[in-house]
A and B are shown apart, each in its own frame.
Chain A
Amino acid sequence: MKKILALALALVLVLSLTAGALAANFPTKNITIVVPYDAGGGVDITTRVLTEAAGKDYFNGKSLIVENRGGGGAVIGHTYVANSKADGYTLLAYTSAVVNNPQLKEVTYTHNSFKTLGMVCFDPEIIVVPAASPFQTLQDLIDYAKENKVIAATPGNSTAHHIAAIRLSNEFGGLQFEYLHENSAAMQTTDLLGGHCDVAFMAASETFDNVLNGSIRALAIGSEERIEVVPDVPTMKECGSALVVGAFRGYACPAGVPDDVYQYLVEEFDKIITSEKFINSMNEKNIPYAYMSAADFQAYADAESAALAEIVPMLKGE
């Protein structure tokens, strides 16, 4: 009996030791966050703010390192992380592109290839028109677009903004959008200011300066509630649409990461992204901070993926 007890005790001890060892053994080196865009862009800057805020205060004194792997509309970076060793040392800066790419491009991963760690930024969709436009409200635009052609600028075919426009059109029984697919927000702004398009679908933060100085007019914003920077702009919900859309930025790891390491990553990330240091730094740099826990973020991404699946036949048929 004593022997058995001793054995059981030893077993428990060993088990608890290994369990403790796993958490204590991770991480033994710095953790890399792959940014699937070139350096200098919004996602890159947000991630660098995060790594700076984290410093050496988390992950047993190890640091977060940014690695840029841009190209192919983020496909190159996504593929790299999806195929990397699922040991928790390679993470991904997770954006709307993770949801969109697998359904719209020929890639070797799906959005289920990643598990989310938390969201840090939500940049709502904004529907903007030139200052001289006759459309004063979203309803004006919808009423007109039901009967007439409207030239709508997006930052590219199959981008989140193009998809938002299609979803809006579907909601109201088909709007006659003629798409002007630019390749950047900068060109969309030029089209708006020069009157080369009737309406543009953009990320809100890209339009604040021009909306505030009156050179373009915002009809509706895709956030849950009105936002502080442009309090006069109604949400799409107020305008009779059910859409809450926008570009989100968060972090994720490959789906194959062991559960205990994943739990540890989620806990540490939660601490960093809710820390005062990080939030202040995001606000200072004018990046629209928005927190979502790992679980909520996963649920949101799943819902976005399902919503997209409905309109994929339309997108590919175009």
Chain B
Amino acid sequence: MFEGILAGLGELAQPITLIALLAGTVLGLIVGSLPGLNDSITMAVLIPVTFGMSREMALGLLIGIYCASATGGSIPAILLKIPGTASATVTAFDGYPLAQQGRAGEALGYAVSSSTFGGIFSAIVLLFLSPFLAKQALRFGPPEYFMLAVMGMSTVIGMAGKNIAKNVLSMTFGLLISCIGMSTQTGRMRFIFGQVNLMDGISLIPMLIGLFGITSILELIESIKQGDEVEMSDALKNKTRVRVKLPDKEMRKRLLPIWAQSGLIGNIIGIIPGAGMIMAIFMAYDQAQRRRPHLKFGTGVPEGVAAPEAANNAVVASSMVPLLSLGVPGNSTSALFLGALTIQGLKTGPSLFSDTPEMAYMIILGFLLCNIIMLPLAIYYTNVLATAVLRLKREILSGIVLALCVTGAFAISNNIFNIIIMIVFGIVGYFFNKYKIPQSPLILSAILGTMMESNFLKSMVYEQGSLLVFVHRPLSLILLIISLIFIGMPIFKGIRQRRAAVKQ
């Protein structure tokens, strides 16, 4: 392994590889920070361009994009409440309130530093534990995936806060959405009303772009019509510059446990093929909330930015674990990586390490290096972008954002229908906000609903349709118990509090 690392370093240290990695990182930050564009679109577009490149150069470029886009996505999430990538969805919860309080620089600092921590953490895990972890990931069969989805859903309880009814409403709506399209297990079409565009269900990206981008633009239009003063940011009023403020020593000490636990969650979810980024960020946020129950999450808490940002960058490198060790891509972006590796004539799985150890370790070290060089680049880029964004009038900015949203929704599969999905969800999001219905349960259940349903049906194959399959398999049982604890704890606490109140 040591020789492998040295050989990998040799490959990585070539100027052309480093330049490609650097270019990829810059590109990743840019596409990540533009709502509507993301890493997978960029990589899909660039893969044919890599045909003519050397292996090191092609992979360096792709690694940079994949790593940095998750960080870039947090910039608009914090400044505008519009996540640049799906991975920054949760970052907006506390990042935007912080920005509204004039603490944008601080919030961006939490995001950048947490991303770096999460990224480096999981790159190190990838370096040393890859084969071991990949083996553990294989224990996940359909019953375990089902229980994992249930566990993900249990975080909705944590989000419930005061109004459980509205949460359930939002969650039910999400579950209904997840039923649209073809059921993979039975092949039947549901709720598509003869519309071929709905056969695959509602695509996630246009839905998210609508819920965040379009909704916020609608809200702005409303505020203009009422003749209210459009809220002006500090930067616009005072022509000040926004500077990323990295957390000081005290804050680092405070965030360290959150970073560690979120990084761990991101790593665990990341190595399980198909579990997904969204689940990781929601779980990290939920766990941060449980660890710091006295803080008011959603009002601008540093932990609320740190947890999802550490988790999403941890998912990035750890999603390479099953790809490199087993040849199984963990998500759609790493599936593109698999394509790129094959085109370059590389084998994946154990033979990647035995036949071409220098490339295997170059990829892993590339992830590590990318996360390190990303810190100064992200700070510089964020300073420039944040100042520019906050100095624009909100009306003009919204116009730009709208153009990006429409382009992004269309670009996913060159389909006008995705723009319609985006608009519909923009309106849905607007009314959700109007009636103070939380959107997170909707997003989470729309994603996990599909995973829950198909894996439930698949699980039924094992023991002639008996539900006991979930108890008979040890890992599934453990996940079931954890979910019960997650669901039970807030309820139990609630009852105890009520009792205490009655006694008084």
Contact = CB atoms under 8 A, between A and B. Distances in A.
B342 interface: yes
B200 A213 contact: no
A68 B413 contact: yes
A196 interface: yes
A117 interface: no
A157 B185 contact: yes
Q: Which of A44, A195, A209 has the most CB of B within 10 A?
A: A209
Contacts of A72: 196-200
Most buried by A among B141, B142, B196, B203: B196
A182 B182 CA distance: 13
B101 interface: no
Given A186-B328, A196-B141, A209-B327, A40 B335 contact: yes
B243 to A, nearest CB: 38
Nearest to A208: B347
Interface stretch (B122-130, B159-167, B348-356): B348-356
A41 B141 contact: no
B326 to A, nearest CB: 6
A187 B273 contact: yes
B140 A194 contact: yes
Given A157-B184, A284-B345, A71 B274 contact: no
Given A105-B199, A157-B185, A213-B350, A52 B51 contact: yes
A76 B197 contact: yes
Interface stretch (B76-84, B186-194, B219-227, B303-311): B186-194
Interface string A192-229: 01111000000000001110110100000000000000
Interface in A266-305: 284-286
Contacts of B388: none
B327 A189 contact: yes
Looking at A44, A71, A104, A178, which has the most chain B CB atoms within 10 Å of its CB?
A71
Contacts of B349: 209-210, 213, 215
B458 A75 contact: no
Interface string B396-434: 000000000000000011110000000000000000000
Interface stretch (B41-49, B102-110, B289-297, B495-503): B41-49
A104 B339 CA distance: 29
A132 to B, nearest CB: 12
B138 interface: yes
B186 A157 contact: yes
B261 interface: no
A265 B308 CA distance: 53
Given A40-B43, A69-B413, A76-B415, A215 B194 contact: no
B481 interface: no
Contacts of A67: 414
Interface string A146-159: 00000100001110
Contacts of B185: 157, 181
Nearest to A79: B196
Interface of B: 40-41, 43-45, 47-48, 51, 137-142, 182-187, 189, 194, 196-200, 203, 273-274, 322, 326-329, 335-336, 339, 342-343, 345, 347-351, 354, 412-415, 454, 458, 461-462
7 contacts: A48-B48, A104-B187, A194-B139, A194-B141, A210-B326, A284-B345, A318-B187
